[in-house]
Amino acid sequence: MATSPAYQGRKKLRQLANPRLTAIVEDVVRLCRPAKVTVLTGSQDDMEYVREMALAKGEEFPLAVPGHTVHFDGYYDQARDTRNTRILAVPGESMGRGINAIGRSEGLAEIHGLMGGIMAGREMLVCFYDLGPVNSRFSIPSLQITDSFYVAHCQNLLYRQGYEEFRRLNGSPEFFHFIHGVGEVDERGNSRNLHWRRTFIDLQENRVFTINNQYAGSSLGLKKLAFRLSIHQSLREEWMCEHMFISGVFRPVKNRITYFTGAFPSASGKTSTAMIPGHTIVGDDLAFIGPGTDGGAWAANVEQGIFGIIEDINAADDPLLWRVLTTPREIIFSNVLVKDGVPYWSNMGREIPDHGFNHSGEWHRGKRDAEGKEIPFSSKNSRYTLRIDELENADPRANDPQGVPVGGVIFGGRDPDTSVPVLEALTWAHGVYCGATIESETTAATLGRQGVLKHNPMAIVEFLSIPLGRYLSKYLQFGEALRVPPRIFRTNYFLRENGRFLNGKLDKKVWLWWMEGRVHGEFQALRTPIGWIPRYDDLRSLFLEIFAKDYRVEDYESHFALRIDRLLERIGRMEAAFAAEDHIPEGFFLEMEREKRELEEARKYFGEGQASPLAFT
């Protein structure tokens, strides 16, 4: 090779006998010019090497609890950079209104120019992972090339090792690959050239380039970057790739477990729904879903770990996670405050020190940044990374090559004044409409303003690599092809009145048990224009069963009142949003027209404002 780097593990590469793989690695070496190349196969020694080097290089720091480390992203590199994340589009290809694209030739020229010598003086790691369970119909072998030990450590926690999957390829070129370069770093080891931060997704070659960043949501190729490749690939096949958790809802009195998938925009209750005490977790973020021989849908977790938002996790509201986060095991914390080796984050239920070390360096209460803004002690997008099998509620089928059967699909939003806490869609097509019309208040997980109501179909819009119309058509076709499609539900845990949340954080367990009962035909429901809603008596029984507390009829009325004017206003926003999209399927508009017509009829009957759910009995 032209740069003649020290090459550790060349034999491991040759043993895979994969010409495309070898060519990719050699091309990256020539372009990025690392001082050393290390090939990692996922052995225990390799895993220990990555972790030790992350500490030795200062990419992570040890904490007081054994196995716990902390990583700090740059002050302005703590969220997905959607502005500089682009799909490389071929001439004549329409990507749709919401997709940030750049011409493929232009994009490749730019990224290759920026990557020239980007790893000079650094060690390049060649890592092998598997998206989905190993040796499964859901498996996608994936190659990660990076010069960040933190990135490799994160991916060792989040993804199954894939060297043997590459061996099973027998030389096939069918795999994903990801190239990440930290770029020039500052005195804290953070990427310096954020104005050259780029993430380019090449659908033609199933590859991603991502440079001048360290935040795991952007630098980890197998996270949301591989997600875009998977969505594009699944369009041509019988399965789907979704931004969904997979959880097992366990009803002790029935001695049964029912699996749900769920899509929620960031900070809308996704992880907390997947982590309900007494339930099991298969995965918290990404799911492959395909048809089963039983005529239903089956789902597998793309990942083996969790990269979760840590803000608001505390012993009272999240006992399972709290125990894991405060006891010895392998965990990476990011962008929290550290004092005497102890991590602190927002709303954790502990007194926060007045000074310590965080994403801004040495921190003290009242410290301000260059723009004069007060620096919070912990980033609102602070995170934790761990393996799912560290959790006591990890589902025994989490790595089953067949996946798990899906009883229900949940779409959740973060909506302060419109949607009821839970409803069931009238049909599969209506469920697709429910998922496509999700609106949520924006949070700290993406760069930009917070607290703005954003339309986010299926909580996937910022990750789409195909036009929205084609994606919705695939959704409709997938359900129609199933003999027994899952039921579809919609949730909203964030209704507020006079600034006060109407739902308790733990109430979601009641909504889940109601959904589980509906899957098994055990609860009747009230037919409304927006879908089936629970009956008061059923919810009252569930509150008594789960929490041994009464559920007042006045609470039921405030939770499940149909806010007709607000619902019609939302339809107006949806009409405008989807009118601007191409090739939206006719079935979607038929559902919108039906819901609008029925709501207008309800307004004539009930008048303006709200309609009590008791009126639908």
Whether the predicted pLDDT of 271 surpasses 90: no
pLDDT at position 451: 63
Whether the predicted pLDDT of 444 surpasses 70: no
Whether the predicted pLDDT of 3 surpasses 70: no
Q: Residue ranges of the alpha helices (H) in 177-265? A: 216-219, 226-234
DSSP, collapsed to helix, strand or coil, labels residue 128 as strand
Based on the domain organization, do 102 and 220 belong to the same domain?
A: yes
Q: How far apart are CA 37 and CA 35, in angstroms?
A: 7
Mind listing the pLDDT tens digit for each residue in 565-610?
A: 999 999 999 999 999 888 999 999 999 999 999 999 999 999 888 9
Whether the predicted pLDDT of 239 surpasses 90: yes
Residue 577 tokens read as 């949003």
Partners of 201 in the beta sheet?
87, 208
Based on the domain organization, do 444 and 480 belong to the same domain?
A: yes
Q: Which of 493, 617, 490, 616 is nearest to 559 (CA)?
A: 493
CB 60 within 8 A of CB 52: no
Q: Would residue 69 count as lying in a domain?
A: no
Please state, for a pLDDT cut of 70, what percent of the chain lies above it: 98
Q: Would residue 223 count as lying in a domain?
A: yes
DSSP, collapsed to helix, strand or coil, labels residue 602 as helix
* Helices 468-480 and 586-606: angle between axes, nearest 10 degrees: 90
CATH number of the domain residue 522 falls in: 3.90.228.20
Q: What is the pTM of this model?
A: 0.92
Whether the predicted pLDDT of 446 surpasses 70: no
Distances (CA, A) of 88 to 176, 218, 227, 468, 505: 15, 17, 15, 17, 41
Mind listing the pLDDT tens digit for each residue in 457-471?
A: 999 988 999 999 999
Mind listing the pLDDT tens digit for each residue in 315-361?
A: 988 888 999 999 999 999 999 999 999 999 999 999 999 999 999 99
The total number of structural domains that make up the chain: 3
pLDDT bracket for residue 232 (50, 70, 90): very high
Whether the predicted pLDDT of 202 surpasses 70: yes
CB 425 within 8 A of CB 443: no
CB 511 within 8 A of CB 517: no
pLDDT at position 443: 54
Mind listing the pLDDT tens digit for each residue in 125-158?
A: 999 999 999 999 999 999 999 999 999 999 999 9
DSSP, collapsed to helix, strand or coil, labels residue 221 as helix
Distances (CA, A) of 183 to 28, 30, 99, 115, 172: 14, 16, 26, 8, 32
Instruction: State mean pLDDT over 164-189.
Output: 96
Q: Would residue 559 count as lying in a domain?
A: yes
Whether the predicted pLDDT of 17 surpasses 60: yes
Which residues span the domain enclosing 49?
Answer: 6-57+77-234
Count CA atoms closer than 13 A to 529's CA, side-chain side: 25
pLDDT at position 568: 96
Instruction: Report DSSP state, residue 446.
Output: B
CATH number of the domain residue 202 falls in: 3.40.449.10
Based on the domain organization, do 83 and 15 belong to the same domain?
A: yes
pLDDT at position 267: 74
CB 490 within 8 A of CB 398: no
CB 260 within 8 A of CB 249: yes
pLDDT bracket for residue 165 (50, 70, 90): very high
Residue 33 tokens read as 């010019």
CB 309 within 8 A of CB 267: yes
Residue 378 tokens read as 């912990």
Based on the domain organization, do 270 and 348 belong to the same domain?
A: no
pLDDT bracket for residue 450 (50, 70, 90): low
Whether the predicted pLDDT of 505 surpasses 90: no
Based on the domain organization, do 212 and 343 belong to the same domain?
A: no
CB neighbour list of residue 104: distance below 8 Å, 6 or more residues apart? 88, 89, 90, 91, 202, 204
Residue 219 tokens read as 């630098």
Based on the domain organization, do 341 and 275 belong to the same domain?
A: no
pLDDT bracket for residue 76 (50, 70, 90): very high
Catalytic residues: 268
Residues in the chain: 617
Based on the domain organization, do 431 and 297 belong to the same domain?
A: yes
Based on the domain organization, do 586 and 467 belong to the same domain?
A: yes
Q: Would residue 1 count as lying in a domain?
A: no
